[in-house]
Amino acid sequence: MNRSNNDNTDPLKAINDYISSIDGVREYVIVLDGYPLYWGKNVDEEKAEELAALATDMISSFHKYSSISGDEYVIISTETPSDYTGAARLKPNLYLLVRGKPSIVRTILLDVYHYLNNRLTCPWCGGDLSLNIVKCRNNHSLPVGLDTCLICGSRIEYFECPSCGRPVDPHGNKVVLRTPRENIITSLIIMAATLALIGIAVKTYHTLSLLSLIILFSSTLFFALSFSLLYGGLKKKQPVRLRK
Ligand SMILES: [Zn+2]
Ligand SMILES: [Zn+2]
């Protein structure tokens, strides 16, 4: 982690880069002092001004809001059957409005809040996880904090910390990867069966009968097959969530 490099990065530009690369976002705008500063996805300059006005409207009307921490930061959302709009007052003069899939929008607003305030850190190495993008099985780019990809429905059990590479669950808990017990048991059974077959083949080999040759041949095939099964079964790891 390069701290001095991080400090030199414009935080609002970092937020813009982050939101622009997340899937499931339809429109967004970052509003500073009432004017759109950054916008993206399907937003042009005219639309950005319209959304900036909407963000200001939503935040000043406070018709439905939830406070993340005390009364300084406010998230407001409006939901229609087809759309979801979330707006957050991140600082007195800094607003963020995001439109798209509900959970993705809410998670982005929270992640940006964490980025500007109490950063989410890796439980293994303490590295910064704020504005980290998580990939689902189908390569959708998502914010940290979702258990399920809202686009394809695949579960997100863990992601790798960008600093240390160790597995972390979507809520910032440690995850360890373990070989499932049934895979170990299956592997042991396969190994025993293979040894037994080879034993039979070796024992009957001196007779050089057709049968022993067949057994020897099939035990070689079985050995190759069981070795690949053994390797695959022991290599397959399951994530197990550790409590903090
Ligand atoms: Zn997905
Ligand atoms: Zn880490």
pLDDT class of 123 with cuts at 50, 70, 90: very high
Distance from the CA of 132 to the center of ligand 2, in angstroms?
A: 12
| Smallest-distance ligand from the CA of 132 | 2
Distance from the CA of 34 to the center of ligand 2, in angstroms?
A: 37
| Confidence at residue 5, expressed as pLDDT on a 0 to 100 scale | 44
| Confidence at residue 2, expressed as pLDDT on a 0 to 100 scale | 40
Measured CA distances, 57 to 62, 127, 193, 217 (Å)? 9, 37, 72, 78
* Residues 208-221, mean pLDDT to the nearest whole number: 75
| Smallest-distance ligand from the CA of 125 | 2
| Confidence at residue 205, expressed as pLDDT on a 0 to 100 scale | 66
| Confidence at residue 4, expressed as pLDDT on a 0 to 100 scale | 42
pLDDT digits (tens, 9 = 90+) for 80-115: 666 788 888 888 889 999 999 888 998 999 889 888
Distance from the CA of 103 to the center of ligand 1, in angstroms?
A: 13
| Confidence at residue 97, expressed as pLDDT on a 0 to 100 scale | 94
Distance from the CA of 161 to the center of ligand 1, in angstroms?
A: 19
Output the 3-class SS for the chain: CCHHHHHHCCHHHHHHHHHHCCCCEEEEEEEECCEEEEEEECCCHHHHHHHHHHHHHHHHHCCCEEEEECCCEEEEEEEECCEEEEEEEEECCEEEEEEECHHHHHHHHHHHHHHHCCCCECCCCCCECCCCEEECCCCCEEECCCCECCCCCCECCCEECCCCCCEECCCCCEEEEECCHHHHHHHHHHHHHHHHHHHHHHHHHCCCCHHHHHHHHHHHHHHHHHHHHHHHHHHCCEEEECCC
Distance from the CA of 31 to the center of ligand 2, in angstroms?
A: 32
CATH number for the region 3-173 comes to 3.30.450.30
Distance from the CA of 21 to the center of ligand 1, in angstroms?
A: 14
| Smallest-distance ligand from the CA of 1 | 2
| Smallest-distance ligand from the CA of 156 | 1
- Across the chain, what does the average pLDDT equal? 83
- Rg of the chain on CA atoms, in Å: 27
Distance from the CA of 111 to the center of ligand 2, in angstroms?
A: 17
Distance from the CA of 181 to the center of ligand 1, in angstroms?
A: 29
| Smallest-distance ligand from the CA of 166 | 2
Distance from the CA of 17 to the center of ligand 2, in angstroms?
A: 22
| Smallest-distance ligand from the CA of 23 | 1
| CB under 5 Å of ion ligand 2: residues | 122, 124-125, 127, 161, 163-164
Distance from the CA of 168 to the center of ligand 2, in angstroms?
A: 8
